[in-house]
Amino acid sequence: MEKDNIPIVRLRGVTKEFFDATGGVVLKELDLDIYEGEFLTLLGPSGCGKTTTLRMIGGFDTPTQGTVYIGDQDVTDLPPYKRDVNTVFQSYALFPHMNVFDNVAFGLVEKKIPKAEIKARVEKMLDLVQLKNFGKRKVAQMSGGQKQRVAIARALVNNPKLLLLDEPLAALDYKLRKQMQIELKHLQKRLGITFIYVTHDQEEALTMSDRIAVMNNGLIEQIDVPSEIYEHPKTKFVADFIGESNIIEASVTGIEGDLVELTAENGVVHAKGEGFVKDEMVYISIRPEHTKYSTEPIEHFRLRGVVKEHIYVGSLIKTTIMLPDGQILKINHHPDSDMIPVGQAVNIYWPMDKAVVMHTAEDTLIDWIEGALLHREEIEAAVEGESCPQK
């Protein structure tokens, strides 16, 4: 995406506070640029502000403060029908008494577009969403996936600058949802229309998006391409929310070039990182697929635990390791990998360029021991009882 272009959508200092019984500030001085032709996903847990952000772009809600621009126009106070935007909702919002053709044509009829043009545009759009020859079908006769295609066709037939999609696939079953993800991505690339998509499903966001804005508590914690979001999370929340992560809190106890020595509750490890200072508290995030174990000593790592279980899930085996304070680490293996037996003490390590070290404002270690003290003696005894060397 060419970031030197003028954004098609700009949010500047947008705050939204509700004054009803639910109350509270939903968005906090949000700044966001969205570029023409991109597929941007607003991703986060329930209540993080993603749907409110979408609704303010669409004109369904007005900011308490701040400005919303579409192109060069300040649209902050414009109603939805005066914005060149269409929205697809999870509920489809189709007219049950109309057939497919009339549902898709509804907006064009309201705009008094000539009948011949309506027919051509509707038929073209139904073909694009793989519903050719479905025009006379009643909506009640359609499956969930077909209804969602009709809703998408109805939104796109108006040739909007923006298409807003609020969890449109959430009601579909898993296989159909996966199929529709690919179809939506292909459709967006073919049409070149900017899609702004809301979901709480991290896999969906990673699959479909050009960029992802990860939201939490009314703020954007990180916005980037999917691979950067996954491989280089900027905050503990992003690391924890996107995929699975092993997160360890530690103190910086040594720095040599880009190699950082980190002392945690359970041992000493190393990772690559820059911009840290000695005695700073940090989080270390390691994906399970990058986390390794061995009965042999590993240079730069003195982190030990006990194998608790191996779980076969088809394409991989998930192994859990319990550290002396009860914290669980996850390791993902290929099914053909050699498994160290349950109960065996192991040394834990990772490729140092695969761990992500993140700043934290915390002054003290999180108490990982709470709720796990009963396990400490068991794990320490197992570690001491095994012939597992360490450096």
Q: Are residues 169 and 317 in the same domain?
A: no
Give, in order, the Cα–Cα distances in Å from 332 to each of 100, 292, 314, 346. Answer: 46, 9, 12, 15
In this model, does residue 168 exceed pLDDT 80? yes
Q: Do the beta carbons of residue 215 and residue 199 sit within 8 Å?
A: no
> What integer pLDDT is reported at residue 246 of this predicted model?
97
User: For residue 3, is it within any domain?
Assistant: no
Read off the CATH number of the domain in which 264 is found: 2.40.50.140
Mean pLDDT, to the nearest integer, of 113-132? 93
Q: Looking at per-residue confidence, does 336 or 11 come out higher?
A: 11
> What integer pLDDT is reported at residue 22 of this predicted model?
61
Q: Are residues 317 and 213 in the same domain?
A: no
Cα(43)–Cα(223) distance, integer angstroms: 10
Q: Are residues 257 and 225 in the same domain?
A: no
- The chain-wide mean pLDDT, for the chain, equals 89
Residue in the structure block whose two tokens are 């940090």: 282
Structure tokens at 37: 């032709």
Read off the CATH number of the domain in which 225 is found: 3.40.50.300
For 316-359, write each residue's pLDDT tens digit: 999 999 999 999 999 999 988 889 999 999 999 999 999 999 99
Q: Are residues 161 and 256 in the same domain?
A: no
Mean pLDDT, to the nearest integer, of 10-23? 83
> What integer pLDDT is reported at residue 372 of this predicted model?
34
Q: Looking at per-residue confidence, does 115 or 1 come out higher?
A: 115
> What integer pLDDT is reported at residue 365 of this predicted model?
36
Q: Name the domain boundary from 236, 258, 281.
A: 236
Q: Are residues 157 and 222 in the same domain?
A: yes
Cα(212)–Cα(222) distance, integer angstroms: 8
The parent domain of residue 180 ranges over 9-236
User: For residue 75, is it within any domain?
Assistant: yes
User: For residue 391, is it within any domain?
Assistant: no
For 202-254, write each residue's pLDDT tens digit: 999 999 999 999 999 999 999 999 999 999 999 999 999 999 999 999 999 99
In this model, does residue 375 exceed pLDDT 90? no
In terms of C-beta density within 10 A (0-12 exposed, 13-18 middle, 19 or more buried), how is residue 107 classed?
A: middle
Q: Looking at per-residue confidence, does 34 or 365 come out higher?
A: 34
User: For residue 272, is it within any domain?
Assistant: yes
Q: Are residues 278 and 376 in the same domain?
A: yes
In this model, does residue 282 exceed pLDDT 50? yes
Q: Are residues 342 and 221 in the same domain?
A: no
Cα(358)–Cα(239) distance, integer angstroms: 10
In this model, does residue 367 exceed pLDDT 60? no
Q: Are residues 120 and 227 in the same domain?
A: yes
Q: Are residues 37 and 181 in the same domain?
A: yes
Task: Name residue 245's amino acid.
Answer: S
Q: Any long-range contacts for 61-66 (C-beta under 8 Å, 24+ apart)?
A: 61/16, 63/14, 63/15, 63/16, 63/27, 64/15, 64/16, 64/17, 65/13, 65/14, 65/15, 66/11, 66/12, 66/13, 66/14, 66/15, 66/29, 66/30
Q: Are residues 272 and 198 in the same domain?
A: no
Cα(391)–Cα(386) distance, integer angstroms: 15
Residue 380 pLDDT grade (very low, low, confident, very high; cuts 50, 70, 90): low
Q: Looking at per-residue confidence, does 387 or 24 come out higher?
A: 24
User: For residue 218, is it within any domain?
Assistant: yes
Q: Name the domain boundary from 177, 208, 236.
A: 236
User: For residue 85, is it within any domain?
Assistant: yes
> What integer pLDDT is reported at residue 24 of this predicted model?
80
In this model, does residue 140 exceed pLDDT 50? yes
Q: How far is CA 40 from the centre of its chain?
A: 11
User: For residue 149, is it within any domain?
Assistant: yes
Give, in order, the Cα–Cα distances in Å from 269 to each of 17, 36, 77. Answer: 44, 44, 54
Cα(141)–Cα(343) distance, integer angstroms: 56
Residue 370 pLDDT grade (very low, low, confident, very high; cuts 50, 70, 90): very low
Q: What is the DSSP letter of 4?
A: T
Q: Are residues 221 and 88 in the same domain?
A: yes
Q: Name the domain boundary from 179, 201, 236.
A: 236
User: For residue 131, is it within any domain?
Assistant: yes
With a pLDDT cut of 90, the percent of the chain lying above it is: 74
In this model, does residue 148 exceed pLDDT 80? yes
Least confident of 92-101, 193-202, 234-243: 92-101
The total number of structural domains that make up the chain: 2
Q: Are residues 345 and 203 in the same domain?
A: no
**H or E segment at 120?**
helix 115-128
Residue in the structure block whose two tokens are 């947008």: 14
Mean pLDDT, to the nearest integer, of 26-33? 95
In this model, does residue 23 exceed pLDDT 80? no
